[in-house]
Structure 1
Amino acid sequence: MTTTRVIMSYQWSAGNGEKPGMLGLREEVAQVANRELRENKSIREQSLQQFREWIRKNQDICSCRTDDNFLLRFLRVKKFSLPMAQQVLLKYINFRQTFSHLLYNLDYLIPSVNELISSGYMYVSPYRDSSGRRVILYNISKFDPHKYTNADMAKVHLITYEVLIEDEESQVMGFTHVGDICQASAAHATIWSPTEFTTLVRWGEQSLPLRHKEVHLVNVPSAVRYFYDLISSLMSEKIRSRIKIHECMESLWKRVDPKVLPKELGGSMPMVEMIDLWKKEISAKRERILHLDNMKLLSTKSIITRRNNQQNENSSLMINNLQGSFRKLEVD
Structure 2
Amino acid sequence: MGPVSLLPKYQKVSTWNGDLAKMTHLQAGLSPETIEKARLELNENPDVLHQDIQQVRDMIITRPDIGFLRTDDAFILRFLRARKFHQADAFRLLAQYFQYRQLNLDMFKNFKADDPGIKRALIDGFPGVLENRDHYGRKILLLFAANWDQSRNSFTDILRAILLSLEVLIEDPELQINGFILIIDWSNFSFKQASKLTPSILKLAIEGLQDSFPARFGGVHFVNQPWYIHALYTLIKPFLKDKTRKRVMKTNASCKFLGQLWIALVKPFHLLLQFFKEMLQNLDPTCLKFPLKALLLSVPDLSTTVVFCLFPSPLVRSQSVVEAGTLKHEEKGENENTQPLLALD
Q: Which residue of 2 aligns with 1:286?
A: 337
Q: Which amino acid aligns with 1:171?
A: Q
Three-state SS of the structure 2 residue aligned to 1:214 is strand
Three-state SS of the structure 2 residue aligned to 1:230 is helix
The within-5 A match list for 1:205-224 is 205-224=210-229
CA contact (8 A) 1:77 1:211 kept: yes
Three-state SS of the structure 1 residue aligned to 2:193 is helix
If you compute each CA radius of gyration, which structure gives the higher value, 1 or 2? Answer: 2
Whole-angstrom distance in 2 between the partners of 1:260 and 1:4: 17
Q: Which amino acid aligns with 2:165?
A: T
- Deviation per CA, 1:267-302: give whole Å up to 9, x if none: 5995675137943529465355x240249xxxxxxx
TM-score (norm 1): 0.71
**Cα 1:101–1:119 shift into 2, 3 Å:** same
2:127 maps to 1:79: no
**Cα 1:46–1:254 shift into 2, 3 Å:** same
Q: List gaps (5 residues or longer) in structure 1.
A: 6-17, 296-332
Three-state SS of the structure 1 residue aligned to 2:322 is helix
Between 160-169 and 101-110, the greater mean CA deviation after superposition: 101-110
RMSD of aligned alpha carbons: 3.6
CA contact (8 A) 1:218 1:252 kept: no
Three-state SS of the structure 2 residue aligned to 1:279 is coil
Structure with more of its chain in helix, by fraction: 1
Between 195-204 and 113-122, the greater mean CA deviation after superposition: 195-204
Q: List gaps (5 residues or longer) in structure 2.
A: 9-17, 276-305, 308-316
Shift of 1:210: 1.5
Q: Which residue of 1 aligns with 2:51?
A: 46
Q: Which amino acid aligns with 1:39?
A: E
Q: Which residue of 2 aligns with 1:255?
A: 260
Whole-angstrom distance in 1 between the partners of 2:198 and 2:262: 37
Whole-angstrom distance in 2 between the partners of 1:226 and 1:143: 19
Whole-angstrom distance in 2 between the partners of 1:70 and 1:52: 11
Shift of 1:257: 2.8
The within-5 A match list for 1:14-163 is 22=23, 23-24=27-28, 25-55=30-60, 59-62=64-67, 64-163=69-168
Whole-angstrom distance in 2 between the partners of 1:202 and 1:83: 19
Identify the match of residue 275 of structure 1 among 313, 323, 326.
323
Whole-angstrom distance in 1 between the partners of 2:327 and 2:170: 16
2:177 maps to 1:175: no
TM-score (norm 2): 0.69
CA contact (8 A) 2:125 2:144 kept: yes
Share of identical aligned residues, percent? Answer: 27
Shift of 1:153: 1.5
Q: Which residue of 2 aligns with 1:225?
A: 230
Aligned residue pair count: 282
Q: Which amino acid aligns with 2:199?
A: P
**Cα 1:211–1:284 shift into 2, 3 Å:** farther
Shift of 1:252: 6.3
Whole-angstrom distance in 2 between the partners of 1:60 and 1:230: 32
Q: Which amino acid aligns with 1:293?
A: A
